[in-house]
Structures are given as structure tokens and as C-alpha cells.
């Protein structure tokens, strides 16, 4: 992989999850590697995504724990919540992780270049007033929040900004219907604010299983989240008293103190000067790549969210690992089949495999198993929250095509079942597996009666 014609064998643009993994692994194989990053190391996931968001989910869950404690004999009242304390603790942890990433790169022999990188030509990367030559380039610049162009859109904030708010206002309106919208709805409601979730469609989380979507909507409504479906946002405006108003075209409106745009993300590619080398981009600005993550320009590659394939941190890391193999003369394509995912809503979602509608569109016979129950922990409390579990099975071969769950620890539970699906497990093998009692997870291996078609 080493070619002394250039300063580096591989120059990585973007020090997020995919870029850092590729840089470290390539350096471990003996390549001379540099990585450029304009912001803090770790990218979206570490700084304004997965990590701080999950910390906030934990914070929000304490509200339930305090409320439920009396049912288990604890004589207590819910203490006051302090938003600045949470933000300070979160900031401290993120700073620690930034340092971890720096040490990992240093320890691997990767040169860290601070600043925005652009491509001058096929083998030249420019960062500020410095020019670097390289044999191969990896674009791993991730994505950024998208805000629709409507009047007053600048009055709202995006998810990046929520992590540095000086305080949490009493009322928050969240616009969007994806996982970011429903996760922040649960977080902000759990931390004590009134929440309205505004979505233009009839039900959020498009692309997820229909039972997952309906179950979560019902549980979120129980928590007092105002679900405003079928409301298209026409404009945002400031009221005379300084609050905000979200207005729809038919007179619908939501009054709030803060508007959070959670209307999707777009690839972060516009400042790379990719036109200098003729790299093809898609309609969203995504870098178009083949199965080996190579662009139409030989030697220029891309992984992660900037390619708009599967926008998940573990996928970006896996794409990076496959790319390093490819660069070392072992062409390796990423396997996108049966990728598990979780939505850290409240209650959370875990899912792997096909939804029911996807299965019915591809298979002649589909059998569905579904169970809904009140978790054992809730039986001594007044909490009216239910768990829903679902299996999608090929009726001809008995292979389990999809596993879906809404309920506590859904992500933790589905991770194990993802291994089973990846191995082609059948419903008979699920049935033959002994459950761990008493747990919620055992329900997946004790469902015997299919629901009527």
C-alpha cells in the first residue's frame, strides 16, 4: 500500500467514526495516513449525536424511576432537575472522549491535520495554506441537519444546538417524524418540558414496522406528548410576548418557547470542491460509490453518512473496515443484510430484519406472531405502559425474517436476536430455545400462536 511518490498513502477527510476507524486500521497495516478534521474529533456521533443523546436519555429516565419508586416501598418525591448541571456533565464526558480519539490516532501513527480539507486534484488535498499529496483519498465527512426553507425557519434550532442550550424552556415544539424527532420528544418530556411533536404525515417513523409505529405513538401520547400528525408547517413566527408560533396552512398552530427542527439530515459534501476532480454526487449531495466504497474516480473513496447508504455509526465503521481490506488487495464489499437498529425513544424501539409489509411484498406466505403485555416492573406502579414484540416469519421455510420490539431495553434485547437472524434462525429454533425467566426477552421464544392473517 505504501508509495513514496506521495506524502501519504491515504488521506482521510473527516474524523468521525468511519474516518477514524479507517485511518487507524490502515496505519496498523503499515500505510502512511493523515486525517483532517475542522471540528472536535469523533464527528457527529461523539459530539452532537449518539453519545450525548444517549446520556440525555438516561437523564430523562430518572423521572420514571422517581415516579415509580413509591410502588416499591420507597417514600420519596421527585427531586428538582437542573439542566445546566446535565449539560456540564455531558460536556465533561465528551471532552474526555475527544481526548481518547486523539490518543488512538496518535498511538496508531496517524497525523492529525486541523482544519477544513478540500480536493485540489486527484492526488492533492489542501487544508488552509498547507498542501498534501496522497495516493488515495477517503471522504468521511458525515452529514448535517436539514432545515426546510419556510418563512421564519431561522427561528428554530437543529439537534446540534440542543446539546448546548443554556436552559430548557417550558414548552418545546419538535418538527419532524424520524428517529431524531421521537428521541428528543421523549428526552425533553422526561426532563419536564411540555412537548408537541409536529409531523406532516399520518404517523411518524416511516419505514419502520406498522405495529412499532402505532404502539410507540400510543405510548408517547400516554406520557403527555402532544402528537400533531398531518400538520404541514407553513411558517414560524414570533409572537408579541416573545414566544414562537408554528403555523400550518389550514389554520393549525402550536404555541411554544422553542422550535427544534428534526426534519432529516443531508450529506456534508458541499465544501469539499469535489468538482475539481469530477467525483459524482447524487440528488442529495451524497457521494456516489460502488460496492467497494469507491467513487467514479479511481483512488477516491467514501464511507459513512456522506454516501447516504445506511446512516448508522456501526455501519460507517464496518464500511471503513471493509475499505481497509480492499485497499490491501482483498476486495471486500459491505454486507447490508439484516442490520439491527434501535430508536432510543421512551419507550425504546429495537428492530432487525424485514417489516411485515416488506415481507409480504417479497414472500408468498408470511406468518406473524405478536404479543403485547405490561412489563413486570410496572405491575407495582401506576404506570400504564405496555411492551410490544413481533416476529415476522416466512411461512414456507419457517425462517424468521424480522424481529421487532417496543419496550424497556429493546436495543439490548434485539442485539442478541440480530445474531440469530444473521445465522438464518427458524421459528422452530426460537421455539426450542429456553427462555430466561422472568424477563421480557423470553417472550420472543414463547410466542406459539400466530395472529390471524
Q: Is residue 452 part of a domain?
A: no
Owning domain of residue 438 = 341-445
Q: Are residues 17 and 120 in the same domain?
A: yes
CB of 43 closer than 8 Å to CB of 51? no
**Residue after which a domain boundary falls, among 299, 327, 355:** 327
Last residue of a domain, one of 327, 355, 372: 327
Considering the domain architecture, whether residues 129 and 31 belong to the same structural domain is answered as: yes
- Residue 21 pLDDT greater than 90, yes or no: yes
100 occurs within a structural domain? yes
Interval 383-420: pLDDT, tens: 999 999 999 999 999 999 999 999 999 999 999 999 99
Is residue 258 located within the same domain as residue 275? no
Percentage with pLDDT > 70 across the chain: 99
Is the backbone peptide bond immediately before 438 cis, with ω within 30 degrees of 0? yes
Last residue of a domain, one of 278, 303, 327: 327
Distances (CA, A) of 84 to 90, 97, 143, 168: 10, 20, 28, 9
- Asked if the structure places residue 451 within a domain, the reply is no
Query: Are 146 and 181 spatial neighbours (Cβ–Cβ below 8 Å)?
Result: no
Nearest by Cα to 34 from 142, 143, 144, 135: 135
DSSP single-letter state for residue 338: T
168 and 140 in a single domain? The answer is no
Q: Per-residue pLDDT averaged across 124-149, rounded?
A: 98
With respect to residue 453, please indicate whether it lies within any of the assigned structural domains. Answer: no
Is the residue at 334 inside a domain? no
pLDDT band, residue 1 (cuts 50/70/90) = low
* Residue 244 domain flag: yes
CATH of the domain at 50: 3.50.50.60
437 is catalytic: yes
Q: Kindly report the CATH number assigned to the domain that includes residue 429.
A: 3.30.390.30
Q: Are residues 196 and 259 in the same domain?
A: yes
Query: Are 174 and 230 members of one domain?
Result: yes
Encode pLDDT of 202-239 as tens digits: 999 999 999 999 999 999 999 999 999 999 999 999 99
Quick check: 410 and 328 in contact, CB under 8 A? no
Q: Which one from 102, 123, 386, 437 is the annotated catalytic residue?
A: 437
284 and 308 together in one domain: yes
Q: Give a yes or no: residue 251 inside a domain.
A: yes
Secondary structure letter of residue 435 according to DSSP: P
**Mean pLDDT of the 333-341 span:** 98
What tens digit of pLDDT does each residue of 240-270 get? 999 999 999 989 999 999 999 999 999 999 9
Total Cβ atoms within 10 A of residue 63: 17
Same-domain status, 360 and 413:
yes
Q: Which residue, 191, 282, 418, 96, is CA-closest to 183?
A: 191
Q: How far apart are CA 101 and CA 15, in angstroms?
A: 9
Would you state the pLDDT for residue 4? 79
Does 277 lie in the same domain as 246? no
Per-residue pLDDT reduced to its tens digit, 436-450: 999 999 999 999 999
In a domain, 450, yes or no: no
Same domain for 179 and 132, yes or no, is no
User: Would you state the pLDDT for residue 2?
Assistant: 61
Least Cα distance to 345 among 185, 158, 228 occurs for 185
Are residues 271 and 140 part of one domain?
yes
Measure the CA angle with vertex 342, ends 199 and 102; round to 5°.
110
What is the structure's pLDDT at 272?
A: 97
Burial 431-452 (b: 16+ CB within 10 A, else e): eeeeeeeeebbebbbebeeeee
| Of residues 160, 112, 146, 144, the one with CA closest to residue 15 | 112
The total domain count for the chain is 3
pLDDT at residue 452, as a whole number: 79
pTM: 0.96
Average pLDDT over all residues of the chain: 97
Same domain, 320 and 401: no
Amino acid at each position: 500500500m505504501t508509495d513514496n511518490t506521495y506524502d501519504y498513502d491515504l488521506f482521510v477527510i473527516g474524523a468521525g467514526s468511519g474516518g477514524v476507524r479507517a485511518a487507524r486500521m490502515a496505519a496498523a497495516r503499515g500505510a502512511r495516513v493523515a486525517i483532517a478534521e475542522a471540528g472536535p474529533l469523533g464527528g457527529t456521533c461523539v459530539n452532537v449525536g449518539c453519545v450525548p443523546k444517549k446520556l440525555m436519555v438516561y437523564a430523562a429516565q430518572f423521572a420514571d424511576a422517581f415516579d415509580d419508586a413509591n410502588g416499591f416501598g420507597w417514600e420519596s418525591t421527585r427531586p428538582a432537575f437542573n439542566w445546566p448541571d446535565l449539560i456540564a456533565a455531558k460536556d465533561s464526558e465528551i471532552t474526555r472522549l475527544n481526548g481518547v480519539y486523539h490518543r488512538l490516532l496518535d498511538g496508531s501513527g496517524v497525523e492529525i491535520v486541523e482544519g477544513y480539507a478540500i480536493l485540489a486534484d486527484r492526488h492533492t488535498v489542501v487544508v488552509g495554506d498547507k498542501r498534501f499529496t496522497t495516493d488515495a483519498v477517503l471522504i468521511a465527512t458525515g452529514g448535517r441537519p436539514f432545515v426546510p426553507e419556510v418563512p421564519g425557519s431561522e427561528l428554530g434550532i437543529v439537534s446540534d444546538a440542543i446539546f448546548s442550550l443554556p436552559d430548557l424552556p417550558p414548552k418545546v415544539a419538535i418538527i419532524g417524524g424520524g428517529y431524531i424527532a421521537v428521541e428528543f420528544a421523549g428526552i425533553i418530556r422526561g426532563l419536564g418540558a411540555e412537548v408537541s411533536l409536529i409531523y406532516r404525515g399520518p404517523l411518524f417513523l416511516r419505514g419502520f414496522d406498522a405495529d412499532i409505529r402505532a404502539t410507540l405513538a400510543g405510548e408517547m401520547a400516554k406520557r403527555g406528548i402532544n402528537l400533531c400528525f398531518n400538520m404541514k408547517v407553513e411558517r414560524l413566527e414570533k409572537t408579541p410576548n416573545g414566544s414562537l408560533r408554528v403555523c400550518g396552512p389550514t389554520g393549525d398552530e402550536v404555541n411554544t418557547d422553542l422550535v427544534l427542527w428534526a426534519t432529516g439530515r443531508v450529506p456534508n459534501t458541499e465544501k469539499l470542491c469535489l468538482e475539481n476532480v469530477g467525483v459524482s454526487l447524487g440528488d442529495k449531495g451524497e457521494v456516489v460509490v460502488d460496492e467497494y466504497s469507491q467513487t467514479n474516480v479511481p483512488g477516491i473513496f467514501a464511507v459513512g453518512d456522506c454516501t447516504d447508504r445506511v446512516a448508522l455509526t456501526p455501519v460507517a465503521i464496518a464500511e471503513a473496515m471493509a475499505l481497509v481490506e480492499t485497499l490491501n488487495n482483498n476486495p471486500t464489499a459491505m454486507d447490508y443484510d439484516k442490520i439491527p437498529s434501535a430508536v432510543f425513544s421512551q419507550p425504546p424501539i429495537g428492530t432487525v430484519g424485514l417489516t411485515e409489509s416488506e415481507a409480504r411484498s417479497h414472500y408468498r406466505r408470511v406468518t406473524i406472531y405478536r404479543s403485547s403485555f405490561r412489563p413486570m416492573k410496572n405491575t407495582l406502579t401506576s404506570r400504564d405502559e405496555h411492551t410490544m414484540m413481533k416476529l415476522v416469519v416466512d411461512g414456507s421455510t419457517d425462517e424468521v425474517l424480522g424481529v421487532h420490539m417496543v419496550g424497556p431495553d429493546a436495543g439490548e434485547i434485539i442485539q442478541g436476536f440480530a445474531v440469530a437472524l444473521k445465522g438464518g434462525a427458524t421459528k422452530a429454533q426460537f421455539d426450542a430455545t429456553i427462555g430466561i425467566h422472568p424477563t421480557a426477552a423470553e417472550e420472543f421464544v414463547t410466542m406459539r400462536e400466530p395472529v390471524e392473517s
